[in-house]
Amino acid sequence: MKSNATRRPLYHLLMVATAMSGFVGVAQAGSEVNVYSYRQPTLVQPLFDGFTKETGIKVNMIFAKKGLIERIYQEDANSPADVLLTVDIGRLTGSVNKGITQAVSSDVLSKNIPAIYRDPDGHWFGLTQRARVIYAARDRVKQDAITYEELADPKWKGKICMRSGQHVYNVALIASMIKHHGEDKAKTWLKGLRDNLARDPKGNDRAQVKGVFSGECDLAIGNTYYMAKMMLNDKQPEQKEWAASVKMLFPNSADRGTHVNLSGVVLAKNAPNRDNAVKLMEYLSSAQGQEIYASVNHEYPLKAGIPWSDLVKSWGEFKTDPLSLEDIATLRKRASEMVDEVRFDQGPSS
């Protein structure tokens, strides 16, 4: 338990930070809800606008790429956070393990989100699904099918681009390989993948596609929705060229299926606007919220019956790996250790 002496300085610093980030202190109950988000504002603002239009409840948001779980933990009972929006099953379960969440019992959420994509105790709820796919050079890669296992085949030596092995998206993929093949085979596979890299891992998912476009590599690993972000990027039209240079392959479609992960939401343990927070969570899982996710973010909605966007439909159907996301979460620590053990982020020469 933190002492008051410890909490007060942290709280004072928080108030300064939140004032700069869009809201100050605890929002007025009945009128607002405070969201801490790992998701970029451009991805979630349309959802918040729809929620405010429907309910009259204002959404205040703080965005950060990292550190929000620890921040809520440090803020303790003084935290203004009502809801945490995040990506990756590891961050969802990590927030629960950190003790910053509280359970939600909601018939709406239970009806809208399939049981496999929510915590049985009500501490986290998935909202959308994304697949971790292979972007392959259209003019240099002739095959139209691939497996994750094949990425370690020497025929791809010097031809794969990938972001850090320690990024949450890749840690989850590696954890799935451990679950499917056991530690020894997964480690051998990871070494093979490392040796096939065209360069040291760096950049984000879009940067890997840029590497394919430039000829630096023939294959790149990335999430599906990045294709849409590149194809529709009028502010950076060069990204449309990147997208046009690749085709998207859904690995292991002929056997177990493609690895998927989630974006999701938790209710903060000390949410000052609990009722509004639950309403927001329910809205994000509703037909209207899921349709916005599908049409604006081009992710796969979890609520049954919500159609994919036309762009996502154009990518084709795919088979989903049925591996439990909870199983992946429990193996993330080992996957992260394995990345360091094989010196993955030091690249192919390590």
Delineate the domains of the chain, giving CATH numbers in brackets.
Answer: 4-128+262-306 (3.40.190.10), 131-259+316-346 (3.40.190.10)
Supply 54's token pair. Answer: 């429907």
pLDDT of residue 191: 98
pLDDT of 294 above 70: yes
Averaged pLDDT for residues 63-67: 93
pLDDT category of residue 115 using cuts at 50, 70 and 90: very high
pLDDT of residue 349: 82
Report the 10 Å Cβ neighbour count for 61.
Answer: 19
Report the 10 Å Cβ neighbour count for 308.
Answer: 16
pLDDT of residue 83: 98
d(CA 48, CA 60): 9
pLDDT of 25 above 50: no
Render pLDDT for 140-178 as a digit per residue (tens, 0 to 9): 999 999 999 999 999 999 999 999 999 999 999 999 999
pLDDT category of residue 30 using cuts at 50, 70 and 90: low
pLDDT of residue 226: 93
Render pLDDT for 116-144 as a digit per residue (tens, 0 to 9): 999 999 999 999 999 999 999 999 999 99
Total-model pTM:
0.87
pLDDT of 45 above 70: yes
Averaged pLDDT for residues 195-213: 97
pLDDT of 51 above 60: yes
pLDDT of residue 42: 87
pLDDT of 273 above 80: yes
pLDDT of 19 above 70: no
Greater model confidence, 20 or 229: 229
pLDDT of residue 26: 43
Averaged pLDDT for residues 29-50: 91
pLDDT of 230 above 90: yes
Render pLDDT for 175-201 as a digit per residue (tens, 0 to 9): 999 999 999 999 999 999 999 999 999
Mean pLDDT of the chain: 91
d(CA 103, CA 237): 44
pLDDT of residue 49: 97
